[in-house]
Amino acid sequence: MLGVAALGFAFGFVIPRSDAILSARHPRQPSPVRAAAGDKTEGQRLSHVLGCRSCHGKGLTGAPMSLSASTVMAPNLTRLSKRTDAELDAAIRQGLRPDDRSELAMPSQAYAGLTDGEAASLIAYIRSLPPGGEVLAQPAYGFILRINLATGALKSQAARHVEATAPLEVDAKTAPGRHIARIACTQCHGPDLGGGEGYPAPDLTIRGYYDRKAFRSVMRTGEGLPRDMKLMSETAASSLSRLTDAEIDALYDYLIARDTRLASK
């Protein structure tokens, strides 16, 4: 009886529900982005800041990663020449494939904060990459991933994109730092920087932990953390160290203002 019930759960709910989520088409926002207007040197810097290599591999030629006990292939970015600028923008900032189905692991809830100019520069850089490696095929998704999708424990990127909140808005003066926080910090600290379930990093509170000099050191080297945080050390070395001095200072000013605003509530 137990086996029959399990089969009923699998074929009566999990498979059809997960198939419906995986095959659903989502409305795509029109894109004004044109790679020809972008700065590929800035796009290369942004590709580091945004952590593209942590999923797509050191040469951006694609790589496997684990998601809900399934292997998910981050695509080979050097082999996307057939995609239009609008399709690449939709993948980056909306988490949508060319056929408007949802990605599963593209952190577009963070990248949605990219300006049109930043998106254009990133796409210009991607288009400048010489083709390398192979086009990676996506293996069939495993049953655990399908269970998590069907029950809502794992959300499609389109769903995360719609549900995501943005970091707390403080004032116009700290808006540049908030922008940096959104595109560079929310992948680990959560869309509102509050950490929590499903995110590997805690609430991004820095007041009382860092002065400006110490914060700069953490962002550039990963050194000076209050405890051993391997992920932050690795992220600082590979990504956050590519932020400019002005961007790091703007981020510091925003986070201090955010802490102060939250403490007053």
Model confidence at 9, in pLDDT bands (50, 70, 90)?
Answer: low
Residues 66, 134, single domain; the answer is yes
> Does 9 reside within a domain?
no
- Answer whether residue 66 shows pLDDT above 90: yes
Residues 36 and 131 in one domain: yes
Rounded to an integer, the average pLDDT of 238-255 is: 95
- 17 within some domain: no
Same domain, 133 and 63: yes
pLDDT in tens, 122-181: 999 999 999 999 999 999 999 999 999 999 999 999 998 888 888 999 999 999 999 999
Q: Let me know whether 113 and 45 are in one domain.
A: yes
Higher pLDDT, 196 or 218: 218
Instruction: Report how many domains make up the chain.
Output: 2
Residue of 71 and 224 predicted with greater confidence: 71
Residues 194 and 105 in one domain: no
Residue 2: what pLDDT?
45
Asked whether residue 16 is domain-assigned, the answer is no
The tokens describing 203, both together, are 């609430």
pLDDT band for position 1 (cuts 50, 70, 90): very low
Are 36 and 124 within one domain? yes
34 and 131 share one domain: yes
Q: What is the pLDDT of residue 251?
A: 97
Tokens coding 32: 């004004």
* pTM strictly above 0.85: yes
* Per-residue model confidence as pLDDT tens digits over 209-243: 889 998 999 898 877 666 667 778 888 888 999 99
Domain membership flag for residue 3: no
Does a structural domain hold residue 39? yes
Which residue range forms the structural domain that includes residue 51? 28-139+156-163
Residue 259 pLDDT greater than 90, yes or no? yes
CATH of the domain at 60: 1.10.760
Both 37 and 133 in a single domain?
A: yes
Q: Is residue 115 a part of any domain in this protein?
A: yes
Tokens 């004004």 belong to which residue? 32
